């Protein structure tokens, strides 16, 4: 699994962590969806977008880039895609850019062309090895830091985060998902270990046998099925529009709120 894929998975499953990471309230995630969007002229795809789910103009949209390897062309590509996106979609929200680096030495600033843009409040650059106290106090930010933790200390950090999750999270399904995510990161970091060995290392073997965990697992599977069904319905909306169905008829056929259909129609026309 590529490192950037892990991050996109984290933010897809737990968008509140992104807002906590950039110094905003985790509750703001309720007003956003995490998605990707193609910039059609040059077939660019912006893989990390937090788009507001309402028309509230006070909410910005966020372009997220996870960069773990030096790339001289990064800011040329990133800002090129951003301004093409603005030209094509003309979003009713102000833009923000967030770039996540493991450490400063990976960044290639290209300050001659982009120095003034990078100095704007609209641009946030995060260096994971400098999170310090924020990673110590925040469960979500700690999970993000675990991705870049050294192998010899990652297991101990994972154990601490699991205990933090047990103490801080009352929702059993969310607790299970966070613990599973922590385990998945360790599996990625220690490919020479089996999942059973890692479960034993993290003290998860007994936890996974408890009734509460099993019930949370079943609930998570049910929610996953519902999300998959919803995604399929939303993806069908543009095709149904093309064959001439009205938005009201589509909402009735798919058993969706009219507002959801209208939103999908606007995005497909963007």
Taking only the tens place, the pLDDT of each residue in 60-87 is 999 999 999 999 999 999 999 999 889 9
Domain boundaries, the chain: 1-135
What per-residue confidence (pLDDT) applies to 4? 73
Q: What pTM was computed for the model? A: 0.71
> Looking at the domain that runs over 1-135, which CATH code has it been given?
3.40.1350
Most confident of 3-7, 48-52, 201-205: 48-52
Tell whether the model's pLDDT for residue 39 goes beyond 80. Answer: no
Ranges of H-type helices in 119-210 = 133-137, 139-146, 151-168, 172-189, 195-202
What per-residue confidence (pLDDT) applies to 208? 62
Burial class (CB in 10 A: 0-12, 13-18, 19+), 236: middle
Tell whether the model's pLDDT for residue 221 goes beyond 80. Answer: no
Nearest to 8 by CA among 124, 182, 144: 144
- Is residue 1 very low, low, confident or very high in pLDDT (cuts 50, 70, 90)? very low
Q: Residue 207 and residue 203: Cα distance in Å, rounded?
A: 8
Tell whether the model's pLDDT for residue 162 goes beyond 90. Answer: yes
How much is the mean pLDDT over the chain?
Answer: 84
Most confident of 2-6, 203-207, 220-224: 2-6
- Is residue 114 very low, low, confident or very high in pLDDT (cuts 50, 70, 90)? very high
Collapsing DSSP to helix, strand or coil, 237 comes out as helix
Tell whether the model's pLDDT for residue 163 goes beyond 70. Answer: yes
């Amino acid at each position: 699994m590529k490192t950037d894929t892990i991050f996109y998975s984290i933010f897809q499953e737990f968008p509140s962590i992104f807002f906590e990471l950039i110094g905003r309230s985790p509750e703001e995630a309720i007003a956003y969806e995490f998605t990707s969007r193609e910039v059609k002229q040059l077939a660019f795809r912006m893989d990390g977008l937090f788009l507001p789910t309402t028309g509230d103009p006070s909410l910005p949209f966020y372009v997220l880039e996870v960069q773990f390897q030096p790339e001289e062309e990064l800011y040329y590509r990133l800002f090129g895609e951003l301004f093409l996106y603005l030209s094509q979609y003309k979003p009713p929200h102000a833009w923000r850019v967030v770039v996540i680096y493991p450490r400063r030495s990976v960044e290639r600033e290209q300050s001659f062309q982009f120095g003034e843009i990078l100095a704007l409040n609209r641009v946030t650059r995060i260096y994971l090895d400098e999170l310090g106290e924020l990673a110590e106090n925040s469960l979500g930010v700690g999970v993000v830091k675990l991705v870049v933790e050294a192998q010899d200390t990652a297991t101990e950090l994972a154990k601490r985060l699991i205990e933090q999750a047990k103490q801080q999270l009352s929702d059993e399904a969310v607790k299970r998902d966070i613990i599973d995510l922590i385990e998945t990161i360790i599996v990625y970091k220690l490919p020479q270990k089996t999942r059973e060995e890692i479960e034993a290392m993290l003290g998860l073997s007994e936890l996974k046998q408890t009734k509460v965990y099993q019930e949370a697992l079943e609930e998570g599977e049910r929610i996953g099925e519902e999300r998959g069904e919803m995604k399929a319905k939303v993806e069908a909306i543009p095709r149904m529009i093309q064959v001439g169905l009205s938005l009201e008829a589509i909402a009735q056929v798919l058993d969706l709120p009219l507002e959801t259909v209208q939103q999908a129609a606007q995005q497909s026309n963007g």
